[in-house]
């Protein structure tokens, strides 16, 4: 297969639009995020007329939920050419006009919520992390924090969020900031537990995820700021209880009803007041009611993300894209299996098979590391399957979705047990006959694991592509802003003596197989400079490699043409390796 054929397949997938629900506005229009039209943007769809309208004039970095009064939708815009130096803005849904707050210091935005008149958000600059409130046309820094924190809700008075507020890398706490009095409270049902993503419900109670009661799976619980009391959410004998989710993708109260998306084993289900809503197998992302109708976002590894409606006991498509027939015909079965590491750890793994398999399979390593490969649309996986590669996607220790004990196993040990898990899934793929040779590819932390695996297990991987990788932890730390310095300290449990030992740059001369690196030029999370130093070592050692630097983009890719560029380089290199 030549470059033109690879590019055609990749572009046919990348340019298939996806649609993610942001809420329903006061007129009943469906507000959503998509890259349809050439850039990440916010649109509105009127079910009554069928009209679709783009609401912004330029690229949106992060879109937010429709505001509490349903008359605005907030967003952030990167003014740093990919460096994630962001300002906030919103679309006035009464006039369908966008407003951008240009008189603020750009920051890396860490969660935000719009009431319709005010926006609360957390932001990181080079030297600090702070809480901010936008009101009456200006942004005010209301509180400086000494640790990572993320805003998840705001009702006009209380700003709520979560973060590593006790400075324990294995715990996170809920915070409640009173924007009127300036009082800041940090709350946890049990010291040392993980508590995340609080939202404000009726009566002022705060609903959040916690592992305080199980030590592992995250349940939902209420916190009452007025009394300081905690209460577990319970639906005895319900569909929700029978399902037994390990974590939650979404939970909101609408009109006195609680909408919850529970998740386990890489798939999720929607519940309303504990009762299951029948949706297709895969991943429900979120849900917003309008009258008797419930709109929700749904996706799977075989289906691009789209918007659906549940009404009168049945599901129908609202905004859904169809894949080209030749792509859909190449997609085979999706299996969920468990590999076993040498130390006995079970590794949950998704296997996406091609109906036209090659002699090689690809191990896809997700980013994060606190993320996962789930049964949801993934443009870094789908093109490979369409091109004839079986894909094995391990959820190594440190991945989300399988309990907090599993996720926290990565703390203080990046590049240790997680490498064992990736290796175990690779050997499982070889033994299962998914291919005669193993290739590896990943982006961000997955890019790090690709470099790491190819230098620490060079005999196992015959080809690899590292996208936006970490090449040197110490150098990355020196180049990072406040939030990513916090990230590295948390990940390593402040064991800075491990930085050199766990950096691919230390072992560049051990590379044995062809390697490609695809790196955004303006990446402020995993910067270019350490990658260039790693490449210098490869050159001195006479290694075989390709380096592709994509100009004028950062870590988060917000344009389909740039995403296609990254993926064409990656897929074409793997295609060439399969011909060796």
Active-site residues, by number, are 444, 523, 555
- State how far the alpha carbon of 571 is from the alpha carbons of 1, 468, 576, in Å: 11, 15, 9
The span from the CA of 65 to the CA of 33, in Å, is: 10
Give the Cα-Cα-Cα angle 123, 128, 134 (nearest 5 degrees): 35
User: What is the enclosing helix (H) or strand (E) of 233?
Assistant: none
The span from the CA of 35 to the CA of 559, in Å, is: 7
Query: Which tokens hold the place of 473?
Result: 């932890």
Axis-axis angle for helices 417-431, 445-456 (nearest 10): 70
The span from the CA of 509 to the CA of 571, in Å, is: 25
Q: At which residue do the structure tokens 């949106």 appear? A: 60
User: How many other C-beta atoms lie within 10 A of the C-beta of residue 181?
Assistant: 8
The span from the CA of 460 to the CA of 439, in Å, is: 9
End-to-end alpha-carbon separation of the chain, Å?
A: 13
Q: What is the 3-state secondary structure (H, E, C) of 62-130?
A: EECCCCCCCCEEEEEEECCCCCCCEEEEEEECCCCEEEECCCCCCEEEEEEEECCCEEEEEEECCCCEE
**Three-state secondary-structure class, residue 435:** coil
* CB proximity list for 320: less than 8 A, separation 6 or greater: 19, 304, 306, 307, 308
- State how far the alpha carbon of 102 is from the alpha carbons of 54, 131, 138, 554, in Å: 21, 18, 9, 21
Query: Which tokens hold the place of 13?
Result: 């997938």
């Amino acid at each position: 297969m030549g470059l033109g054929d690879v590019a055609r397949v990749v572009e046919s997938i990348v340019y298939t639009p996806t649609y993610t629900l942001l809420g329903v506005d006061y007129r009943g229009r469906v507000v959503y995020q998509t890259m349809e039209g050439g850039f990440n943007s916010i649109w509105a769809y009127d079910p009554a007329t069928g009209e679709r309208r783009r609401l912004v004039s330029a690229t949106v970095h992060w879109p937010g939920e429709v505001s509490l009064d349903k008359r605005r939708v907030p967003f952030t815009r990167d003014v740093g050419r990919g460096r994630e130096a962001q300002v906030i803005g919103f679309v006035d849904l009464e006039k369908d006009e966008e407003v951008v707050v240009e008189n603020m210091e750009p920051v890396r935005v860490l969660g935000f919520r719009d009431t319709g008149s005010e926006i609360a958000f957390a932001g990181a600059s080079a030297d600090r992390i702070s809480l901010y409130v936008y009101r009456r046309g200006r942004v005010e820094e209301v509180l400086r924090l000494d640790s990572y924190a993320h805003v998840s809700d705001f009702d006009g008075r209380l700003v709520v969020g979560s973060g590593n507020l006790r400075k324990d890398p294995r715990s996170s706490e809920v915070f409640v900031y009173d924007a009127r009095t300036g009082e800041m409270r940090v709350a946890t049902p049990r010291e040392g537990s993980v508590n995340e993503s609080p939202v404000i419900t009726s009566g002022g109670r705060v609903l959040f995820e916690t592992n305080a009661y199980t030590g592992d799976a995250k349940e939902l619980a209420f916190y009452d700021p007025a009394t300081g009391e905690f209460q577990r959410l319970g639906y005895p004998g319900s569909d929700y209880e029978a399902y037994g989710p390990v974590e939650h993708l979404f939970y909101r109260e609408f009109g006195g009803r609680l909408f919850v998306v529970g998740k386990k084993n890489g798939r999720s289900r929607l519940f309303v007041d504990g009762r299951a809503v029948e949706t297709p197998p895969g991943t429900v992302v979120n849900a917003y009611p309008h009258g008797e109708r419930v709109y929700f976002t749904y996706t799977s590894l075989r289906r691009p993300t789209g918007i659906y409606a549940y009404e009168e006991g049945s599901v129908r498509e609202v905004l859904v894209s169809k894949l080209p027939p030749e792509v859909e015909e190449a997609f085979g079965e999706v299996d969920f299996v468990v590999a076993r590491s040498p130390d006995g750890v079970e590794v949950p793994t998704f296997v996406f098979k091609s109906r036209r398999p090659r002699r090689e399979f690809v191990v896809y390593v997700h980013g994060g590391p606190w993320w996962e490969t789930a049964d949801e649309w993934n443009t870094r996986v789908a093109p490979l399957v369409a091109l004839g590669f079986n894909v094995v996607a391990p959820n190594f220790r440190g991945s989300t979705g399988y309990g907090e004990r599993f996720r926290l196993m990565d703390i203080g040990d990046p590049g240790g047990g997680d490498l064992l898990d990736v290796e175990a899934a690779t050997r499982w793929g070889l033994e299962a006959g998914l291919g005669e040779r193993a290739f590896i590819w990943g982006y961000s932390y997955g890019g790090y694991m690709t470099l790491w695996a190819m230098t620490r297990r060079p005999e196992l991987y015959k080809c690899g592509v590292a996208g936006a990788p970490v090449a040197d932890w110490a150098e990355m730390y020196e180049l990072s802003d406040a939030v990513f310095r916090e990230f590295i300290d948390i990940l390593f449990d402040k064991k800075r003596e491990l930085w050199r030992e766990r950096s691919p740059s230390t072992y560049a001369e051990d590379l044995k197989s062809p390697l490609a690196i695809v790196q955004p030029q303006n990446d402020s999370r995993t910067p270019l400079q350490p990658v260039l130093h790693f490449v210098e070592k490869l050159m001195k050692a006479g290694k075989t490699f390709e380096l592709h630097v994509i100009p004028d983009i950062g870590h988060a890719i917000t344009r389909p043409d740039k995403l296609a560029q990254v993926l064409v380089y990656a897929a074409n290199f793997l295609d060439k390796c399969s011909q060796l």
